[in-house]
Chains A and B, each alone.
Chain A
Amino acid sequence: MVEIDWYLALSAILFTIGALGVLIRRNAVVVLMCIELMLNAVNISLVSFASYHGDITGQILVFFSLSVAAAEAVVGLAIIIAIFRNNLSVDITRINLLRW
């Protein structure tokens, strides 16, 4: 029997790793993947809460969050393609025309 702490801690670890990836990676596609990782980590929390509460709401929310993640991925990738066309690079440290 695994206690809920473990699931939640795992979720927190994955979330943190994802956040770290967003902060340090420079490739926009990888940043997007790290965000997917974060959303996914939250889903673990949601599902485990749902199971331990014995309530289906959490699972429903995960279902929606999967859809949202998919939509964000689609739009995000489309934008990355657009930016690649203009800059011939997806390095986010070089995309800083707009500043100050």
Chain B
Amino acid sequence: MDYLYDLNTFLPATIMAAAGLVAILMAAYKARIGNIFNFTIVALVMALAVSIRDLFGPDGTAFFDMIAYGGTAAFGAFLVTLGTLFCVVISRDYLEAIDHHYREVYAMILFGSTGMVGLAVSNDLIMLFLGVETMSICLYVLAGLIKGEKIGAESALKYVLLGAFSTGFLLYGIALIYGATGATSYAVVAGAAEATPLFLAGTALLLVGFFFKISAVPFHMWTPDVYQGTPTTLTAYFATASKAASFIALVLVLSRMIPEIEGVELTQLLQVIAILTMIVGNLIALVQDNVKRMLAYSSIAHAGYILVGLAAGTPEGYTGVLYYLFAYTIMNIGAFGVIAYYERNHALDFTDVHNYAGLGYKFPVMGVLLSVFLFSLIGIPPFVGFLGKYYVFAAAVNAGLVTLAVIGVLASAASVFYYLRVMVYLYFREPHKEYQLVRPGALFKYSLILLGILTLWYGIEPIFPTDSLIELISTYY
């Protein structure tokens, strides 16, 4: 085999890993923190460029079938890189403002994203396991970034204990699948497997591991607590990049490892989990006053919608899932970004929705942007969130899962209440006291505006740089 060729297929992760190592050295030698930030941005832009190149490249497997490239895998790498880049961009001012801007943060993010890309492109259970763990270790650390305050350490502790606990199940699942088939490579497993109890139990436990990472109900309990205790911009990172990676890996597992085997029927399971996730996520989100917690529950609900597409199990459904992940990434980072901007102002506690009264008029661009992102999260046309929902629900209907789609529509209907509540406070309530907002930095502001434009752009006519995005994605299946 040609290592260089293989390395080329894994280039985004390689760039990020190398950049992470350099970032650590820079931190060790006390480089100016702004330089580390700039360096990280440059590295991520390079990685993004490479990953966009890979979107149009061939597909296959590399490194002795350890990883896949091209197609869905390339899309996963692209999504992770995109999400990481925007999260890093919005992080600097925010971490500075909350006084937790450490040099090592950027290295941790880069390492975490390396793991995510590894996870998203994995073609072997071993690679999957290591990708998940590399990602998780970094996330555990980032969850505890608010040092010296109780909530910071608490969220990290919850995350690490429950995460490691779920790792146990994930690893057990891999072990049982390995026992049943004598292999870990997806293709070989698919060829050797039969629907024995051993294999089924292994698949079940593997799925448990996934369900934890994508915070599906009832494996979701850590999500709101961890999201609340984590610095907001990194919460965005948790909610988008890591979720996208996990979902893409799940798509690969479901489409490459499971379907060849007779007697393994996942639709019903995925349906039940999807229904639970949509209902519970939306219901609890309704009663939240903390905006971050509200978004955490909403992200649980969104995981439910994505599971609808997975339950459909058709190429159409997987296409919908990929599109939804893209939509979800841009609109969610946007929403968290605006909230992070508000939080930079210490005049009030801007995680409490009551303090958003009249805020939409303070710095109109930010208010409008937040509204755009929230409308998109509701799934109102013509924003990208609507198309995402449309694709997954339509796929479910076409696969005969009408009930599931109807429940999905109803559940997303309920979500109007809590998203709208934020907007009502933004525009229709009088502020309690007078205060001034800080001006957002140029990079911060323009990247959020860019996300807002993307949210609208891909909701109206999804033209990717060269081709319709959905057409491009559908070629991956």
Contacts and interface: CB of A to CB of B under 8 A. Distances in A.
Nearest to A44: B175
A46 to B, nearest CB: 5
A57 B184 contact: yes
Contacts of B141: 75
Interface residues of A, number: 43
Contacts of A75: 137, 140-141, 160
Tell which of B150, B154, B228 has the most Cβ of chain A within 10 Å: B154
A98 B168 contact: no
B176 A28 contact: no
A61 B129 contact: yes
Contacts, number: 128
Given A35-B165, A64-B126, A65-B129, A95 B137 contact: no
Interface string B152-166: 111111101100110
A22 interface: yes
The interface centre, meaning the residue of B144, B165, B168 with most chain A CB atoms within 10 A of its CB, is B168
Nearest to A84: B153
A79 B140 contact: yes
Contacts of A100: 293
B157 A72 contact: no
A24 interface: no
A98 B129 contact: no
B151 interface: yes
Given A42-B172, A57-B184, A72-B137, A95 B165 contact: no
A39 B141 CA distance: 21
Given A15-B168, A35-B168, A82 B153 contact: yes
Contacts of B137: 71-72, 75
Interface in B65-89: none
B129 A79 contact: no
Interface in A1-30: 8, 15, 18-19, 22, 28
Contacts of B144: 79, 82
Interface in B119-138: 125-126, 129-130, 133, 137
Contacts of A60: 126
Contact of B164 (A35, A49, A82, A95): A35
Q: Which of A50, A68, A98 has the largest count of B CB atoms less than 10 A from its CB?
A: A98
Nearest to B288: A100
A45 B160 contact: no
B157 A80 contact: yes
A49 B157 contact: no
Given A22-B165, A42-B171, A71-B133, A53 B182 contact: yes
Given A83-B157, A92-B161, A98-B228, A55 B179 contact: no
Q: Which 4 pairs between the two chains have the least Cβ-Cβ distance?
A: A38-B168, A98-B225, A49-B179, A83-B153
11 contacts: A35-B161, A35-B164, A42-B175, A49-B182, A57-B126, A57-B182, A61-B125, A61-B129, A68-B130, A79-B157, A86-B149
